[in-house]
Structure 1
Amino acid sequence: MSSKSKGDALPPNIILKASTLARVHTVLAYTAFITALSIGLCLHYKKIVKNGVAGYPQEWFPSVSATIGDWYPERNVFQILIALTSGPRFALVSLLYYLQKSQTSSLPTIVFISGIIRTLTCGGWVYITSSDDHDVHDIFMISYIVLNIPWMIGGVYSTSKKCPRVRRKRSFIATAFFSCIVPLVYFFIQHKVHRIPGAYTNYSFFEWGLIFLDVLYDACAEEEFRLNDLHVTIGSPSALSGSNGPMKVKYIHISNSPPRKERFPSPKNSAPSSSRDARTTLANVFRCYRPYLSFTSDLYLSYIFWSIFTSLIPTLFYFSVWELAIAGSELALFSTLSPIWLSIPLLLAWARTRGGQTTFHLLSFAGVAAYMLEKPLHRLLVVAPATSAAMIPRVITWMDDPSYQSIMTGLGLMLASLSKHANHSNNPVWPFLDERSGGYNKEGLALALVALLEFYIRPSEESSSEKYEDSSATPATHWLNGALPLGSLIFTLHSLLTDPSTLIAWSWTGYENGRPRGPLPHLHGSLTLLCQSIGMLIALQAVKSSKIHLLASPNWFAFGCTSAYTMYSYRNWVGYLGGLGFAVFIMGSLPLILYNASSTRAVFKTTFTAMVIYCLLALADVWTVAYAFVPGGVYLRERIDLVLMAEMACLSLAFNWPALKSRSSNPSSISASTSSCTRTILALISVLGVLATLYRLPTSPTTPFRPGHRVMRAGIWTIHFGIDNEGRDSQRRVMNLIKDMELDVVGLLETDLHRTVYGNRDLTRVIIEDMGYNVDLGPGPNSHTWGAVLLSKFPIINSTHHLLPSPHGELAPAIEAVLDVFGTAVTVVVSHNGQEEDPLDRELQSTELARIMSAAYPRPVVFLGYVVTKPHANRPNPYQILVEDGNVHDVDRDDYDRWCEYILYRGLYRTSYARLSRSTVTDTELQLAQFLLPKHGVGVTNDTQPARYLRSHKESLPPSHWFPMEYYGNQREGGVNGHFYHVFNTPLYYAIPENAEL
C-alpha cells in the first residue's frame, strides 16, 4: 500500500455500548454526592448540620444544599464531579429519545425537551448555591422539580413495550419520588414556620431521598439500553457496510469524516420532491402537536371564563358596600342570565358555529381589558356585558359536549384558583387589579387573544354535539331536573372552590399553646388543590371509560352530603377534612351534572333556569350576613345552613334514586391525548400549588421591628373589604403603610372576604407573605360577620374567637389573643361592634368586651376596636362600659374628635399616639399607639392619670420611639402617598414616669 493510500485510510470505528454510558452517568452522579457528603462530615460536621433554628445535637444530619454548596473543599470536589456527569447525562437523554421516538406520539419529544431543560436547570442550582443567590438557587431548584413531572411520568409511558420490567421500575421509583415531596414539605414548614429544632434533620433525610431516587430513575436507562442492544459507533459509515458485525445490533452513527459529494447532479424534479417531503413532514409534526395545542388553548379560555365570571360580583358590590344598602348595581348580577337569548333559534344556531363562539369570546375579553378604565362605574358597565358574552359559548359547549367540557371546566377553575394562590389570593387578570395592585392584565389579555386565534383557525372536525346526539338513545331528561343541579354546581364551585383557602377559612378557630388549632390558609391551601385534582381524576376516569353513570350512585351523593355536613358542623382539621371531601365530591361530579343537563336537549330552558338558580343562591348567600341592610334579610339571618341544604337538594336531582327511572347511557368518551394532557395538568397544578406555598413562605423568622427595646407599636384600621376608593384591591397599599409605621400588632376590620361578593380573597396574604406576620383570621364566613384580623410580630400563645351578642343588628366579631411580647403575656382584643342603629346590640357587645378585658387582669391588655361611640359617653353607650367595666385606660382621653375607632390599654406605658389620614385606601383612618413594657414581673409602678399624661417632645425619648418623620404634612403637600398625621398634625408623645422600672 502506498503512502498516499495509508494517509487516506480512515481510523477504526469506536463502538460503545449505550448501557455503559448510562452506567457511567449513574456512577459519576452518586460519586459526586457521596464524596461531598463524606468530606463534609469529616471536615465540617457541626457547620453543615447547623441552620437558622438550631445546631448540633438537635440537628445532626446535613441538608443537600449545605453539603454541596457551603464549604471548601467538598463544594469544589462536588462541582468537578458533577461537571463530568454532564456529558453522559446529555447522551442518556438523547439516546432515550432515539430509542423511544414514535411517529404516532409526541410524548417522547416532550420527554426529550423536558430532559434537556431539566439538565440545564440542574446546573443552575448546583453552580449557583443558596449562599450565592438564594432566590436564583430556589428558582432553578423548583424548576428542576417541576420538570421531573414530564420527565418521569412521560418516561414511564414512553418506555418500550419490550421492557415491562423497566416500566415497572420507573413507575415505582417515580411514585416514591413524588411521595417523598409530601413529608419533605411538612418538615420544611415545621422548620421554617414553626422553628422546631430537629425538623430540618428529618427534612434532610427526605431531601437526600429525592436525590437518590432521582439518580436511580435515570439509572433505569441502562437496562433499557441493554435489552434493546443499543450501541453508539464513532467513525466512518463505510465500516458498517460489511457483514462482520452482528447486524441485529442497533447503531447510532456519529461520522468523523465529511459527507461525500454526489458525482452526478440530482435530477431537476428532486428539489420539488424534497420540498414536498419537507412540507409533508412539517405538517405531520404539526398534526401530532395540534391536539395538545388545542387543549392548551381551550384550557386558557376556560381560565379566562372563570376569571371574568368571578370578577362580576366584586365589581358590582363595590357600590353596595359604600351605600350599605341596595344600591341598584346589584342588577348587574342578572347579566349572567344571558342564556335567555338562546331562545332565539337563529342566535342559538349562530352561537354554535365557530365564528359565533369566536365572536362571543372576543366580546368577553372586554372584561379583562376593563382594568384600563379608572372609574368603578365604567368598569362595571364593561364587565357586566362581558360576562353576558362569556356565558353564551360556555353554556352551549356544556350542553353540546359534556364529556370534554366537564374536564375543561374543572381544569379552568383549578387554574384560576392556582393563579390566586400564587398571586396573594388575587386573580392576576381581574379588572379591579392593575400593575400597582398585583395585576398581570396585559399579559393575560395577550395570551387570551393567542388562544382565541388558535381556536378560530383550528381544523374543522365532526362536532361533538353530533357525536353525542348519534350515541344518545335514551329519552331526554326533564329540563328542570337538568337545570337545578347545574345552577347549584356553578354556585358551589364559585362560592367554595375559586380560592384554595376558602375551605380553611370555614374551619379556622385560632391558636392554642402557641400552635394553630387547624390549617393556616397561606400554608395549607395547596391541599385543597390536591383534593380537587383527586376529584378531577375520578371524573376523568368516568369519562374515559364511558361510565359516568357510576357517579350517579346514591352512595356517592351520600359521601358528598357527609362531607358537607362535616365541613359545616366541625372546625379545625376535622372541618377542613370535611371540606376536602366535599371538594373531591364536587369536582368528581362535574361530568355527571353536565351530562345530566345536556341530556335535556333544551339548551335555552336548561341553561337559563340554571343561571336563575345560581343568582338566587348567590343572593341568599349574601343575605345570610347582610341581613341588616336588605329587605327580607331576617329570614336568612345567619342561615348559611339553609343555603347549603338548598345546594345539596338541587344537586340530588342529578343522581339515580331507586324510586326514579335510572339513566344509564353515557356521552362519548374523550381522546387519549385529552386524557394524557389532563393528567399532566393536574399533576402540574398540584405540584405548583405546593411550590407556590414554599416560594411565598417568609425567608426570615417573625421578629418585632425593635427587638431590643421592649417597645410594641399597635394599630387599628377598618379597611373596607380590601377595596379602595377607586374600586381596586388595596392589599399592597395597606401593607406599605403598616411597613412604614413599623407596627408590631395590627387589628384589621371588615376583612372576611371569602365570599362571592368579595372574590373569595384573603386580605392578609401580601402582608404575611412579604412581611412575616403571625396571623389570626377572625370568625370565618360561616359565622356571618364582616370579619376581623389580628397580625402580630410576636408569637400568638392562645386566641379565642367571639361572636358578640347581637339580637337585632349585624353580628359582631372579636378576637381575644394572648401574645408573648418579649417574654410577657399580653392580651390583645380586636373587635368590630355593630352600627349606631342598634343601641341594644352595642350595649350588650360592649358589656361582653369589658368582661373579656376585665377577666384578663392582671395581665396587660391592648384593645383595638371599632366601637361607634363618642368619647366619655355615659351608659348605655359603649365608652363608659368599656373603660370602667373593662378596667382599661383610653389611649388619650383628651382626644374628643373620635367616633368609631378606639385604642384602650392597661398594664403598659403608653409613649405615643398618632392618627394617620386614610388617603384613598378606605373610609377610615389608621390609629396607632406605642407602648413600652415594664420590667418583667414588676408591672406599671405609677398608674395615676398625672403619670400617664406627662406630655413630652419626641426629642426627649429615644429615637426608637419616634414615628416616621416623612408623614408630617397636610392634604396639599407633605406626607407619603396621601397619608399624613392629621387631627393633631403630629404624633403625641408621653414621658415615661421617673419611677418606672423598665
Structure 2
Amino acid sequence: MASTTAKPKPFVFPAATLARVHTVLALVAFFSALLLGCALHYKKIVKNGVAGYPDEWFPSVSATIGDWYPERNIFQILIAINSGPRFALVALQYYLQRTPTSSIPGFLFLVGVLRTLSCGGWVYITSSDDHDVHDVLMISYIVLNLPWMFGSLACTPLHHVASRRRRFFASIVPMIYFFIQHKVHRVPGAYTHYSFFEWALIILDVLYDSSAELDLKAADLKITIGSWAEGPESSKIIAKVTQEAVAPSPVVQSSVSTGQKEKSVQKGSDKVASNATAKQSNHLLSLARPSIAFASDVYLSYIFWSVYTSLAPTLFYFSVWELGISGQELALLSMVSPILLGIPPLRSWATTRDGRTILHGLSLIGLAAYLLPSPLGRLLLVSFASASASIGVAVDWLESQGEEVTNQAIVTGLGFLVSSLSKHANDGNNPVWPFVDDRSGGYNKTGLVLALLAIYEFATRPSELLAAPVAPSSTDSTKESKEVSPPTKHWFPASLALGGFIFTIHSLISDPSTLIAWSWTGYPIKGPIPNVHGSLTHVAQALGLGLATFLSRPGFSADALAHPAWLACGASSAYIMYAYKDWTGYAGGLGVAFFLMSIFPSVWAYVAQAGKSRVARTMATTWLVVCLYDVASTFTVAYAFVPGGEYFRERTDLVLAAQFACIALAFHWSRLLPRRSSTTAPSSRATPSLPHGRHFKAQYTLALLTTLSLLATLWHSNWPRIVPRPHREAARIVRAGIWTVHFGIDNEGRDSQRRMRDLIQDMELDVVGLLETDLHRVVFGNRDLTRVIAEELGYYVDIGPGPNQHTWGAVLLSKFPILNSTHHLLPSPDGELAPAIEAILDMYGTEVKVVVSHNGQEETPLDRELQSTELARIMSESYPDPVIFLGYVVTKPHAPRPAPYDIMVTDGKVHDIDSDDYDRWCEYIFYRGLYRTAYARVSRSTITDTELQIGQFVVPKRGEGIVDDSKDARYMRAWKEELPVDHWFPMEYYPEMGGKRGHFYHVFNTPLYYKVPGGASL
C-alpha cells in the first residue's frame, strides 16, 4: 500500500522584507561596533596621529570597525550575513527596473555588484591591515555611489514620491574639509568633526538603500518558497518571485537538494525551468552587453592614445643624447602606415572583425615593449604598434557611416579623456606607457590584461553590436576616379583638418596641467596650481564633449558646433590663452579645451564624408600633417641643434595659428554665404545623430571621469604625505642642490622621477634647482616632472617659464616658503632662450635670494656673455643680502672675461662654492651672506648625464651679518668629525661603503667640510 505524504504549503513573504533585513543588519553591525568600541577601547579608538583624548573624543568609522576585538569580529560577522540580502536587493532592483529600450538598469546592476564588492573590501581590509588598499576600496565605493544613486533616481518612477525623497547623498564636502584640517594642518579635534560626517555618510548610505523597500512594496513583489515531490527519495525547494497586477515576468527560481545539497534554477517543471533559466541569463547578458561593448570601445580608444602619445617620447630619447637629428626621428613616419590601405586586399581584411581584432592585438606590442631593456628595441616595437594602431583607427574613423561616425567620434574623445585622466592620477605619467614600469609608477601588466579582455569582448561581440563599415573599394590606391559615388568634398582639406585637430588636442590638453604651465607666473601665486586645479581642465573637456553628445541626440543637431561663429569663439580663447597669464590666460585655455572637445563629432563627420572613398591617402596625409606639426613645435625650442631651426625661434604663435587654420577647414563656411533660394537643400555634411542608448552611456561615462578626476585632485593636492619643512631647523642649516635632469628620461630611456626623488630624499635637500624640466611638449609626453618629488617629499614648487616661453625649463623646489619669484628670459640673440628663476625664500626668518638658471652653450659665446652679465646684475642688485645661485653656466673655473665665471663672481658679488675645485664645466653654486659648511658632488648613476652638486650653508640669525667674509675665514677646511652630526652627509654614499643605487661621492670621494668662523652669530 503506497504511502502518501502531505505536500507542505508554500511559504510566501514580501520582497520588501529583504530590504528591511538589510537595513536592520547594517545598522546593527555599525552601531554594535560603535557601542562596544566605546565601552571597551574608548581612548584607543579616538586616538590618532595628531592627538588623543580629550582633544579627540569621537571615533572614526575605520578605527571603530577595524582595530580591536571583539567589535571588529562582531561587525564583520554581521556584515557577512548582510551580504546575501544586499546582493538580493541589487538583483531585485534590476528585476523591477529592466526594460528592453534602455541599458541603464543593466549598467546599474553592474555598478551595484561592484559597489557591494568594494564595500566588502574596505570592511574586511582595514586601514591597519593595508592603508592604501583600504583607501582605494573606500574611494571606489564612494565613486560608485554616484552613478548608483543618480541612476537609481532616474529609474525610480515619478509616482514613487516617498522613495524619491529618501534617495539623497550628502556630507562628503564637510568630511573632506575636516580631513584636510586633520591631515594637512594637523588641527587637534578636527578628526572628531570629520568622524561625525563619516558616520553620517554611512547612515545616509544605509538609509538610501532602505528606499528599495518602498519600491519593492509599491510593486507588490513577493517571494514564494514551495516544494514538490520529485521522487520517493528526494525533494526540492523552490523560491519563486512574483509580482501582482503586472504583466508576467521571467521567474527567478533557485532550488536546494536536501539529499545532495545541490543548487539549481527551476521553473514549473525541469524542462521549462531549464529553458527559462537560459532565457533569463541570455536576457541579462543581452541587456548588459551593449554597455560592456561601449566600455571596451572606450578602453581600446584609450590604448590607441597611449600608444600614439608614447611614440614621440620614446624616439626623442635619441635626439636628446645626440643634441641634434639622430635619424631615429624617422620612426614618426610609422604613423603614416594607413597608406598601406591603398592595397585592396589589405583594406578588405582590415575592415573585417578578424582584421580589426588582429590590429588591436598588434597595437598591444607597443605597451608590452616596457619589458625590453634596450631603448632602441622599445622604439622598434612602439613604431610597429603605432603603425598597426594607425591602420586600425583609419578603418574605424573613415569606414564608418551614418550614426556610427558620431559614435566613433564620441568614443575617441572619451578614450582621449581617459588617457589624460590616467596621467593626472599617476603623477603625470600614463601608467601603460612603455617607458614607465613598476619602478617608475607604471601599471603595465594591469593595462595589458584589461586590453586583452577588451579585445576578447570585441572578438566575441554579437554582430548586431558591431559597426557596419563601408564596403572597401578595390581601386583606392590607383583608380579612385572610378568610384561609383565620389565624395562631394575633396579629401585633402579633410586631412589637414584632422591632422591639425589631432596635434592640437595632443599638444594642449593631453595633460591637464599643460594649460596651467602656459599661464604660470610664479609667487605670490595669482593663478591656478597644476596639482590643485588640473581637474578644471578635465571638467572643461567633459563639458565640451558632453555638449557635443547632447546635441547629437535624435531630434537635436550638432551642426551649430560646425558654424564658423563657434570657431571664432575657440580662436578667441586661444588668443587669450597665448597673450595673457594667470587666471585670465588659464580661462582662455579652458575655453580652448571646451571648444576642442566639442567639435569631435563635427570634425569626424566632415572627414568621414570627404575621405571615406580615399581612406589610404586621407589618413596617410593626416598623420603626415601631425608629424610636421610635431617637428615644428619642437623646433621652437631645439632650433640651436637642427638645420634651419632658427626660423622657428619663438614662433609658437605662428604654429598655434597654423593649427587653427587647419581646424577651420572642417567648419561650414558656406553658412556665411547668402542662400540662393529658399529651397536650398540642407548641407550634406550634417553631423549624424547618436543613438539614444549610446548618448546616455557617454553622458554617464563623462560624469564618472569628471568625478574620478576631482577625487584624484583631492588625493594629490590635499593629502600630502609631508608638509614642507626644512630638515635641520634647530641648526639653521640649508642644503641646496643643482641638477640637470635630462628631461626626466634616464640613460635606459625610462622615466626617472622616482629615482630622482630617492636621491634628493637621501641627501635631505632643502632647496633644489632642476634644469631641463619643461616636459609639457609632445616630444616629452606632456609630463609634469615635479609632481612625484613635490608631493611625496613635501616641497613648494616654482616650475619657471612655461612651454610657450620656448626654453628647456628650470624648476625651483623649496622646503622654505617662497615669498616672491620672477621668471626671466635671459638675453639670447644667437642661440636658445635661457630661463632663470629669481626667488626670495624665507629661511628661518631671513630673506634669501635664490637664482636658478640654464645658460647658453659653448657654441654661442655672445649669448653666454650677455646672460652672465644679466645674472650678475640680478645677484648684485640685492647686495649685501644673502644669495644662493644654482645654475648651468658652461665655463671653466676662473675663466677670464668674456667667459661667464669672472663676470658672475666679480660683478655678481658672490663667492664660488669652492674655488679650488677645477674639475667643473657646467654646474656651479655661488653664494653670499651665508656660512658654507659643506660641499658635495654626487655621481649621477644612470639617471642623467650630469652629477648632483650640493652646497650646505648656515643662515646667520635674523638681522645678523657675516662676521668674517675673508677667504681665509671661508676656507678653514675641516674633517666631518670636527662639525656637529647635523652637518654630516650620508655615510652610505662613500665609495668605500659601496655607494647606494649607483650613486657615490666622486671627484673628492668625500664631501668637503668647512669650519664656521669664530664669533659667528648662529
* TM-score class normalised by the smaller sequence: 0.7 to 0.9
Are 1:542 and 2:564 counterparts?
no
Aligned to 2:478: none
Q: Give the aligned residue type for 2:537.
A: T
Name the CA shift for 1:753/1:44 in 2 (closer, same or farther; >3 Å).
same
Whole-angstrom CA distance in 2 between matches of 1:477 and 1:487: 17
> How far off is 1:27 after superposition?
12
Assess if the C-alpha contact under 8 Å between 1:29 and 1:81 holds in 2: no
Work out the CA distance in 2 between the residues paired with 1:492 and 1:366: 26
**1:895-925 deviations in whole A, cap 9, x for unaligned?**
1111110011112111110111112211111
Tell whether the 8 Å contact from 2:740 to 2:771 is kept in structure 1 after alignment. yes
1:265 match: none
**Residue type of the alignment partner of 1:724:** D
1:279: Cα distance to partner? 4.5
- Decide which of 510, 525, 543 is 1:498's aligned counterpart: 510
Matched, 1:689 2:693: no
Per the TM alignment, residue 782 of structure 1 is displaced from its structure 2 partner at its CA by 0.7
- What is the CA-CA distance between 1:783 and the residue it aligns to? 0.8
Q: How does 1:56-135 map to 2 (within 5 A)?
A: 86=82, 93=90, 95-101=92-98, 107-119=104-116, 121-122=118-119, 125=122, 134-135=131-132
CA distance in 2, matches of 1:53, 1:511: 33
Distance 1:385 1:165, change over 3 A: same
Tell me: CA distance 1:166–1:490, structure 2 relative to 1, closer, same or farther (3 Å): farther
Per the alignment, do residues 955 and 811 of structure 1 end up closer, same or farther by CA in structure 2, a change over 3 Å counting?
Answer: same
Instruction: Provide Cα deviations, 1:426-473, integer angstroms capped at 9, x if missing partner.
Output: 12222222333333333333333332233233333474335999xx99
CA distance in 2, matches of 1:61, 1:956: 49
- CA positional deviation for 1:520: 2.0
* Contact preservation (8 Å) 1:785, 1:811: yes
2:597 corresponds to which of 546, 569, 587: 587
Judge which range, 897-906 or 614-623, deviates more: 614-623
- What is aligned with 1:676? 696
1:537 & 1:432 partners in 2: Cα distance?
33
The residue that corresponds to 1:859 in the other structure is: 881
Alignment of 1:181-580 (within 5 A): 214-215=205-206, 217-230=208-221, 278-401=277-400, 402-461=405-464, 463-466=467-470, 476-512=488-524, 516-545=525-554, 547-580=557-590
Aligned partner of 1:698: which letter? Answer: P
Q: Partner amino acid for 1:25?
A: T
Instruction: Provide the secondary structure at the position in 2 that maps to 1:747.
Output: strand
Residue 361 of structure 1 contacts residue 390 of structure 1 at CA under 8 Å; is this kept in 2?
Answer: yes
User: Counterpart in 2 of 1:699?
Assistant: 721
CA contact (8 A) 1:500 1:526 kept: yes
Give the aligned residue type for 1:898: R
Residue 770 of structure 2 is matched in structure 1 by 748
Q: Distance between the aligned counterparts of 2:117 and 2:395, measured in 1?
A: 45
CA contact (8 A) 2:126 2:134 kept: yes
Check the 8 A contact 1:26/1:219 in 2, yes or no. Answer: no
**Where does the alignment leave 5 or more consecutive residues of structure 1 unmatched?**
262-268
Deviation at 1:734, TM superposition (A): 1.2
> CA offset at residue 62 of structure 1?
8.0
Q: Residues 194 and 492 from structure 1, CA distance in 2 versus in 1: closer, same or farther, beyond 3 angstroms?
A: farther
**In the alignment, which residue of structure 1 is the partner of 2:857?**
835
**1: CA distance, partners of 2:527 / 2:51:** 23
Query: What RMSD over aligned residues (CA atoms) do the two structures have, in Å?
Result: 4.3
SS at match of 1:607: helix
> Equivalent residue of 2:315, what SS?
helix
- Asked if 1:163 is matched to 2:172, the reply is no
Alignment partners' CA distance in 1, 2:580 and 2:163: 44
Residues 194-225 of structure 1: per-residue CA shift (max 9 Å, x gap):
78999989988976775575455435434434
Number of aligned residue pairs: give it. Answer: 967
Quote the offset at 1:592 in angstroms: 0.4
Opposite residue 975 of structure 1, the aligned amino acid is G
Change (3 A) 1:510 1:195: farther
TM-aligned CA deviation for residue 802 of structure 1: 1.4
Aligned-partner residue type, residue 683 of structure 1: A
CA shift, 1:894, in A, is 0.7
607-616 vs 985-994, which moves further: 607-616
Aligned letter for 2:16?
A
In 2, the alpha carbon distance for the partners of 1:614 and 1:327 equals 20
Specify whether residues 74 and 300 from structure 1 end up closer, same or farther in structure 2 by C-alpha distance, changes over 3 A only: same
Which residues of 2 match residues 797-812 of structure 1 at below 5 A? 797-812=819-834
Residue number among 634, 649, 652 corresponding to 2:661 in the alignment: 649
Secondary structure of 2:552's counterpart equals: helix
Task: Output the amino acid matched with 2:461.
Answer: R
| Counterpart position of 2:1016 | 996
Measure the CA separation in 2 of the matches of 1:154 and 1:409. Answer: 24
**Could you tell which deviates more after superposition, 660-669 or 744-753?**
660-669
Q: Is the 8 A contact 1:302 1:413 kept in 2?
A: yes
Relative to 1, partners in 2 of residues 1:325 and 1:120: Cα closer, same or farther, differing over 3 Å? closer
Cα deviation for residue 362 of structure 1 reads 2.9
Cα 1:26–1:775 change in 2 (3 A) is farther
Contact 1:36–1:77 (CA under 8 A) maintained in structure 2: no
- What amino acid maps onto 1:400 in structure 2? E
Greater Cα offset, 114-123 or 340-349:
114-123
Amino acid at match of 2:406: S
Conservation of the 8 A alpha-carbon contact between 2:33 and 2:71: no
Structure 2 Cα separation of the partners of residues 956 and 246 of structure 1: 88
1:236·1:257 contact (CA, 8 Å) conserved in 2? no
Aligned to 1:977: 997
Distance 2:51 2:805 in 1: 37
Tell whether 2:785 aligns with 1:763. Answer: yes
Which of the residues 634, 637, 643 maps onto 2:649? 637
* Matched-pair contact (CA < 8 Å) for 1:235–1:255: no
CA contact (8 A) 1:36 1:78 kept: no
Q: Given the alignment, which residue of 796, 799, 804 partners 1:774?
A: 796
**Aligned 8 A contact 1:849 1:886 in 2:** yes
Change over 3 Å in CA distance of 1:248–1:456 after alignment to 2: closer
1:96–1:335 Cα change, 3 Å:
closer
8 Å contact 1:110–1:150 — kept in the other structure?
no
| Alpha-carbon distance between aligned partners in 2 of 1:202 and 1:543, rounded to the nearest angstrom | 46
SS at 1:465 equivalent: coil
* Corresponding residue of 1:722: 744
Q: TM-score, normalised by structure 2?
A: 0.85
The TM-score normalised by the length of structure 1 is 0.86
Name the CA shift for 1:193/1:761 in 2 (closer, same or farther; >3 Å).
Answer: farther
User: Secondary structure at 1:511's aligned position in 2?
Assistant: coil
| 8 A contact 2:50–2:188 mirrored in 1 | no
1:19·1:230 contact (CA, 8 Å) conserved in 2?
Answer: no
The AA in structure 1 aligned to 2:941 is S
Structure 1 residues 308-348: Cα deviation after superposition (integer angstroms, max 9, x where no partner) = 11111112211211122222222222222222222333332
- Residue aligning to 1:18: 16
Structure 2 stretches lacking a partner, 5+ long: 230-236, 261-267, 474-483, 676-681
**d(CA) in 1 for partners of 2:891, 2:130:** 53
CA distance in 2, matches of 1:99, 1:679: 23
Q: Distance in 1 between matches of 2:80 and 2:21?
A: 13
1:937 shift after superposition: 2.5
- Counterpart CA distance in 2 for 1:457 and 1:66 is 43
Contact 1:15/1:231, CA 8 A, preserved across alignment = yes
SS in 1 for 2:759: helix
The offset of 1:989, in angstroms, is: 0.6
Q: C-alpha offsets along residues 835-870 of structure 1, whole Å, 9 cap, x if unaligned?
A: 122222112211221222223334322111001111
Shift of the alpha carbon at 1:226?
A: 4.2
Distance 2:608 2:966 in 1: 76
Residue 731 of structure 2: SS of its match in structure 1?
coil
Alpha-carbon contact 2:519-2:577 (below 8 Å) kept: yes
Give the residue type in structure 1 aligned to 2:959: G
